[in-house]
Amino acid sequence: SQDGQTLNRRRELAVRRRDGKEFRAELSVTALKRREGILFNVFYRDLTDKIASEERIRHADKMEAVGQLTGGVAHDFNNILTVITGTIEILADAVAKEPELAAITKMIDEAAGRGAELTQHLLAFARKQPLQPREVDINALIIDTAKLLRPTLGEQIQIESVFEDESCVAIVDPNQLTTAILNLALNARDAMPGGGKLIVETGAAYLDEVYASVNDVRPGHYVLIAVSDTGTGIPAHMLARVFDPFFTSKGPGKGTGLGLSMVYGFIKQSTGHIKIYSEEGHGTTIKMYLPPGKTAAAVGEGVTPSTIEGGHETILVVEDDRLVRDYVLAQLHSLGYVTLQAANAAEALAIVATGKPFDLLFSDVIMPGKLNGRQLADEVSKTRPDLRVVYTSGYTENAIIHHGRLDLGVLLLAKPYRKSDLARIIRKALSS
């Protein structure tokens, strides 16, 4: 045309921030040929969120595909086992008077029994096991389950049950839930070879639209069951695979790798949600969210935008997960607060060293680097003795306190949380 021709070029590349961290970006170059020459428009688009979203979709598709595969294998294997167990009973009767042959048939029968258990685990992961959901008093179920656990876990491991409310009712299959808790407890035991503490907590929870949109779960009210241990924790590179069937960090012969995948499948089949928080050397917390019964106490009802109080103070946000940090910053800005941000304790201390004023430190408890959240607060308090602090963590409060990372009476906001929860605890800290 007379005005010239438009040429578009796009390329994905690694970009380094001022702090030295790299991220993937899309470079878009538009060349406009004009009579007076060529003009270039250059745009960079941060692809971090896009890549994370694609990874979540790939993971969900993978789990669905593996679930369909294992479900089909388990179904066919059950048919084979039906023939084996049936014929072995006939054979056992025929050789009952011959001890050597009877011993062999017994071995075959026991092996078939183990195979049947294996297929049940596979069906649980594939979300194809028969469930009988009903309203269940979760607190009572955990009390009964703890009685089974005490002789199983041994004297070196303490069991603590923490109930937020007297009544905690969920719609779930009680037998399968008991099995799931037992599986988590046995995993916790293996992570604490020198002894430790197992904490089982219940309460009401609300998963909001923001959390639900990135975690494949429906927003709404849930009953929360959290199982925490003080064990060795899980390395970061293994976390994405812990729910995969047959994946295990244990040695040969020490696990099938189906325990967590069975729990995952059961919770999903129960229209619930499961989330794991773990860091090497800091223990593990697994949170299970189940649909509440009609009599279950709800959390977060009656909260409207008019009841959410904001402010104009400055808050230093320290959070290593970029998506979570961006979420917190956006919510604080919408509440009227001014923010400073850091990805770890070192960055936070660098901000403090500049002398920039702030009114409150909002910090994750467990972070990479030399200092955790409490140690960061202690360090900042040396120059700012009137420092006000709110901690946040995916671990439960009892697990955090038991590890000695926080003291009783501190303000801790458990993940995931709603905007109203964030606003309320921030105002509580600033008003104290």
Domain-by-domain residue ranges, the chain? Answer: 6-46, 50-125, 134-290, 305-431
**Is residue 397 a contact partner of residue 372, using CB atoms and an 8 Å limit?**
no
The amino acid that residue 42 corresponds to is: V
Question: pLDDT band at 229, cuts 50/70/90?
Answer: very high
Range list of β-strands (E), 35-107: 37-46
The amino acid that residue 338 corresponds to is: V
Q: How do beta strands 157-163 and 284-290 pair?
A: unpaired
Q: Does 45 or 79 have the greater pLDDT score?
A: 45
Per-residue model confidence (pLDDT) at position 318: 95
Q: List the strands of the sheet with 37-46, edge to edge.
A: 6-16, 22-34, 37-46
Rg (CA), the chain: 27
What are the tokens at 164? Answer: 């937020």
C-alpha 341/C-alpha 351 separation (Å) is 9
Task: Give residue-wise pLDDT tens across range 299-319.
Answer: 444 444 445 778 899 999 999
The class level of CATH for 305-431 reads: alpha beta
Is it true that the peptide bond before 416 is cis, omega within 30 degrees of 0? Answer: yes
Per-residue model confidence (pLDDT) at position 147: 84
Q: Does 222 or 256 have the greater pLDDT score?
A: 222
Q: Does 380 or 321 have the greater pLDDT score?
A: 380
C-alpha 288/C-alpha 205 separation (Å) is 10
C-alpha 291/C-alpha 135 separation (Å) is 10
- When mean pLDDT is compared over 200-209, 238-247, 318-327, the highest value belongs to 200-209
Cα 171 from chain centre? 21
Segment among 1-5, 116-120, 351-355 with least mean pLDDT? 1-5
In 3D space, the residue among 361, 359, 313 whose CA is nearest the CA of residue 341 turns out to be: 361
Q: What is the CATH number of domain 134-290?
A: 3.30.565.10
- The average confidence (pLDDT) of the chain is 79
Task: Tell me how crowded residue 168 is: count the other CB atoms within 10 A of its CB.
Answer: 26
CATH of 6-46, one of 2.10.70, 2.50.20, 1.10.3470, 3.40.50: 2.10.70
Question: pLDDT band at 208, cuts 50/70/90?
Answer: confident
